[in-house]
Amino acid sequence: MNDYIILLLTTWFAVVFVKVAKWLYEYYRFANTVNKIPGPKAHPIVGNALTIIKVDRKDRLKWFRDLCERYQMDGLFRIWLGTKANVHFISPETVSVILRSKTLITKSDIYSFVQPWLGTGLITSTGETWHQHRKLITPTFHYNILEEYSVVMFEKTEVLKKCIETELKTNPEEPIDIHAFSLKCTLDIICEAAMGVNINAQMDENLEYATALNRISTEAVERTFRPWLHNDWFYYQTQRGKKFKHFVETAHKFTKKVISERKAAQKIRQQNNPDENYKFEKPKSQAFLDHLLDACEREKMPLTDDELRQEVDTFLFAGHDTSAATISWALFCIGNNPEVQEKIHEEHLRIFGDSKEPATIQQINELRYLERVIKETLRLFPAVPSVSRTITEDTEIAGYKVLKGIYARVLIHYVHRHPNHWPNPDKFDPDRFLPENSQGRHPYAYIPFSAGLRNCIGQKFAILEEKIVLTAVLREWRVKSAVKYEEIKCHSEFILRPQDGIKIYFIRK
């Protein structure tokens, strides 16, 4: 070996040694600061990852709640997933620092695991792209447009009622897993509201698209707790990664086809009426995609086909499982509280009388008590139990230094049960949301749709959908839950799901 090669190798080892030493020193300082934040004991390299993985999926939410109760007075705690620090915020006071910030708007890398599906849509994007798209999309949720979407909601709810009726005839003495039914109903609603296509999910038992959507979000969450699967190259060599890629391709193929067809239809209408001052006739009920295309043209802000797909997929992701979960949890709560159900029926009698006609949008808006029931459901069972951000600048919170690069996780599920802000927090009580009982409540004590700049753009859509579905069901049947509060098992993914469904008895009124 000549002197030149020896010199080259020596230099290379020296450079590597210096870089490794520098990284270790910087990591030591970083970890030393992070560990001043209270939290469970972590092991070197793996942190708390092995401990979390050993916790059964159905017990993971309870595991986190136990930590919340242990560090309740601190308002935050930290855990390590490998060498990545995660700080969990669990009180309205600490949560408000994150959510009201105008600079801490970058989502954490956990969302990168659904980015192959969602791209840089509203949920995953940040900076100027997020600001522009948010501005473009906001008008598509105007109240007048929500009325258009309600046409689809009423139609698909009638299908849901028929599906429940069929199941009751088949198994009259058995409870129904309402979560399975509501999931298909909300998928029908969101696909037609978002893309203008009827996928008939409630009648098609083997719908490939519906399966793909469910598996994408489930797999993405499971990946977060396995640090060795965080590397994309390695992940996509595994069977899990290959299946995930297949589900994403299935979802994209469907959405791309719909976008192509809707753009072609819009182009034909414009070609038939070339006068730019002519307002071409539009269908009575337009989909989100149609309104988005119109907004692009109106604002002179064209989106590529990929950008359109990303926003449509984001609408589907954000509005499918979430509404299904809330409808299911609401029926679970109502079915466990006969006095609440009685008040709902008294309100129905006052507004609908003896009429058997479907509700109108005006009547739905008058259902104040039902709306409080939905709000209380979202307090106890928030559809999205947590949201995550990346800390992009050193920030002091509750006397602790939260460093740049840390993942900040807002645990909405526990904030909604914080005993300092919610007396008897596990009790279901819709009257908490009476105006006189809401006065003086911390503005960040109730955040089912997040808060601040990145609050949920579709929250009015969600509440309207949930009111329409619940009203149709509860006008037809009385419900009784087959499972009590202390028996229900749920797990926290992107969505708070029931572990074994939600079994409900339906009794004809």
Show binding-site residues for heme. 456
Distance linking the first and last C-alpha atoms of the chain: 92
Task: Please name the residue ranges forming H helices in 178-284.
Answer: 178-195, 208-224, 232-235, 239-272
| Bridge partners for 501 per DSSP | 499
Burial of 375 (0-12, 13-18, 19+ CB in 10 A): middle
147-151: long-range contacts (C-beta < 8 A, 24 or more apart)?
Answer: 147/361, 148/284, 148/285, 148/286, 149/193, 149/285, 149/288, 149/461, 149/464, 149/465, 150/361, 150/364, 150/464, 150/468, 151/284, 151/285
Amino acid symbol at 483: V
What is the sign, positive or negative, of the torsion defined by CA atoms of 15, 16, 18, 23? Answer: positive
Q: What are phi and psi of 305, to 5 degrees?
A: -60, -35
Q: Which of 473, 449, 475 is nearest to 462 (CA)?
A: 449
With a CB cutoff of 8 Å and minimum separation 6, the contacts of 263 are: 293, 305
Report which secondary-structure segment, H or E, holds 335: helix 321-335
Distance, CA of 506 to CA of 181 (rounded, Å):
13
Q: Give the three-state DSSP class for 473.
A: helix
Distance, CA of 188 to CA of 192 (rounded, Å):
6
Q: Which of 117, 86, 57, 65 is nearest to 315 (CA)?
A: 117
Question: Residues annotated as binding site?
Answer: 456
Question: How, if at all, do strands 503-508 and 477-481 pair?
Answer: antiparallel
